[in-house]
Amino acid sequence: MADKPFDPLSKPALAESIALQLLKSPALAFPPKNKISGAGIYALYYSGNFSPYQPIAKKNKGPNPTVPIYVGKAVPKGSRKGGVGLESKPGNALFGRLSKHAHSIENVSNLNLADFRCRYVVCEDVWITFCETMLIIRFEPLWNVFVEGFGINVPGAGREKQRKSMWDTLHPGRPEAKKLPPNDKSAAELAELVAGFFAGKITPKIGAAEAAANQD
């Protein structure tokens, strides 16, 4: 049987290309010390002592972390209203998004900013969402496809009947999440599910497209 021709524009090939571009960028302190100009995609890496995350934390120690716990996008203001690629100016979208994530982590008691690093790639507006989705497919980061809730800007906003997210249950402390009813599962139960996820016994509960769309 003849080999299938290589298609550099296929989704798997593009996903690998994007991942390689991200991995070539330096792993920086989180949040970055210097302001970033532009919009694009980013990855967060965890290497701390939170017990449920040890399967990836151990792989991320040292100067070259390889297993992101979360990937995301930072789009210019107005892009959600159809402005992408037209009149939207990227400004400091990436720096602002990473700073918001850092603030979320600072609010909780069982995570430490010093245990996180980040990588980012500045992208043209029209590619940002596609690149993010491809990275989620490539890496299946825990906080994207299983432990939902981290990327929400304001937990509970516009969601009157929403319960506390998995992320806010495992990592209590965000002021906005304190107002929400408890999650159906306790932190201990969620920690067991995370162990099952890393062991390959539980598949991702959130698809890549949905995970990308979940960011506010």
Q: How many CB atoms neighbour CB 155 within 10 A?
A: 22
Tokens 């507006």, residue located: 125
Mean pLDDT along residues 134-158: 82
Answer whether 98's CB lies under 8 Å from 78's CB: no
Please report the DSSP string for 81-130 in residue order.
GTTTTTT---TTHHHHHHHHHHHHHHT-SS--GGGEEEEEEE--GGGHHH
Q: How many CB atoms neighbour CB 21 within 10 A?
A: 14
Task: Return mean pLDDT, the chain.
Answer: 86
Tokens 């996008």, residue located: 73
pLDDT band at 83 (very low <50, low <70, confident <90, very high): very low
| 81 Cα distance to chain centroid | 22
pLDDT band at 158 (very low <50, low <70, confident <90, very high): very low
- 8, 49, 136, 186 from 104: Cα distances, Å: 38, 18, 21, 20
Mean pLDDT along residues 151-160: 56
> What is the structure's pLDDT at 14?
74
Mean pLDDT along residues 91-117: 94
| Residue 73 scores a pLDDT above 90 | yes
| Residue 40 scores a pLDDT above 60 | yes
pLDDT, tens digit (0-9, with 9 covering 90-100), for 107-143: 999 999 999 999 999 988 888 888 898 899 889 999 9
| Interatomic CA distance for residues 216 and 107, integer angstroms | 19
CA triple 163-168-169, angle to 5 deg: 80
Sheet holding 28-29, edge to edge: 28-29, 116-122, 40-46, 70-74
Q: What is the sign of the dihedral through the CA atoms of 14, 20, 21 and 27?
A: positive
Q: Which is more confident, 7 or 56?
A: 56
> What is the structure's pLDDT at 107?
96
Angle between helix axes 11-24 and 128-139 (nearest 10 degrees) is 90
Q: What is the sign of the dihedral through the CA atoms of 96, 103, 176 and 160?
A: positive
Backbone angles phi and psi of 116, in degrees to 5? -115, 145
- 28, 64, 122 from 25: Cα distances, Å: 9, 10, 11
